[in-house]
Structure 1
Amino acid sequence: MTAHKKFEEITLRTEPIFKGKIISLQVDHVQLPNGETATREIVKHPGAVAVIPLLDDKMIVVEQYRKPLEKSQVEIPAGKLDAGEEPLQAALRELEEETGYRSEHVKHVSSFYTSPGFADEIIHLYVAEQLIKGEARPDEDEFLECEAITLEEAQQYIRDGRISDAKTIMAVYAWQLYRLTGQI
């Protein structure tokens, strides 16, 4: 028996609870590996992209208010995948919408799950270099400010709690590694 099958939970029944514009919530009734049953509350998400935009040894970030946290956060540009959209195309779109920058030098860094204990959201992380300035076009309900910060400023923002989301912290560490090794 393979390791992933050893711990598999078999879905017996799914109860849809909520369907919104971005997420949906369901309760799955599952059979556990020992034959017992349990429930799992699951947030379904279409997936997202995030971009590490590098320009002149600085990283372009955006600051915006995050209602669930009741505070502003400094983050790398990011957004959800539209239906049928390829992650690379979404990354290019989000980069330009939020920062005004475009790039033809974009490389996939990693894809990771944000909270696998209760959500299926996956973020595809890219690095963009040789940026070309254009004009930002944020969504009508997006209010943000763009800034170019040094690695040292990013590290200080993490210590101060201005950067506290996982994708941006991961981006800062990936950027630090890139500066040290030349590889990301």
Structure 2
Amino acid sequence: MKKFEEKTVHSERIYEGKIINLKVDDVTLPNGKQSKRELVEHPGAVAVIAITPDNKLVMVEQYRKALERSIVEIPAGKLEKGEEPAASAKRELEEETGYTAGSFRHIQSFSTSPGFADEVIHLYAAEELKKTEQGAAPDEDEFVELLEVTMEEAEQMMQDGRIYDAKTAFAVLWAKQEIATDN
């Protein structure tokens, strides 16, 4: 038994979308009482920490409708059905930034919002970066600006809220440690 497990008594999917599904579960709590849980089902995602040979972080700025503003992020995207996370990381890096990498190293997988969503992001470090001739080729509904920022610029972006999401903040802290270790 899992500590503090909530047993599902009934589950009802109330929405099926292109990216997410929503369901409401009736659960029995550890103390025997009943409750409801509203849950988001997500296929999972990847994110890529890409550091150029001159120690700049490759990032993208894009508008996020849920926040009603643009933010700066590391390249990322959802897993396609049946796609392995490493293949997805390679695809997302190339599409969003126009970079390829000689290798990808898995850093960590983590939950984004465990209170209501099952989304897991698989974080990779892209190594041996090379710029492609054709450049970035984002999806037709994706509008991004490529940025290459120093560690100091990334930290300032965290301070002023331009970097606002957890995966990118985690990536900046990881990259800072990685760069310090390499030097």
TM-score, normalised with respect to structure 1? 0.95
1:86 aligned residue (79, 84, 87): 84
Matched, 1:153 2:153: yes
Which stretch has the larger CA shift, 116-125 or 128-137?
A: 128-137
Name the structure 2 match of 1:95: 93
Shift of 1:105: 2.0
Shift of 1:96: 0.2
Distance 1:57 1:107 in 2: 17
Name the structure 2 match of 1:41: 38
Unmatched runs of 5 consecutive residues or more in structure 2: none
Name the structure 2 match of 1:133: 131
Unmatched runs of 5 consecutive residues or more in structure 1: none
Distance 1:83 1:53 in 2: 24
Q: Which amino acid counterpart does residue 171 of structure 2 have in structure 1?
A: A
Moved over 4 A (4+): none
Distance 1:12 1:18 in 2: 19
- Paired residues in the alignment total 180
Q: Which amino acid counterpart does residue 122 of structure 2 have in structure 1?
A: H
Instruction: Give the secondary structure class of the aligned counterpart of 2:92.
Output: helix
What root-mean-square deviation, in Å, do the aligned CA atoms of Structure 1 and Structure 2 show? 1.2
Matched, 1:167 2:167: yes
**Mapping for residues 1-184 of structure 1, pairs under 5 Å:** 5-55=2-52, 56-134=54-132, 135-182=135-182
Distance 1:5 1:114 in 2: 21
Distance 2:19 2:122 in 1: 17
Percent identity of the aligned residues? 60
Render the CA deviation track for 1:90-141: whole Å, top value 9, x for unaligned.
0000000000100122101100000000000000000112111112110000
Render the CA deviation track for 1:33-80: whole Å, top value 9, x for unaligned.
111111000000000000001102101000011111111111000000
Shift of 1:177: 1.1
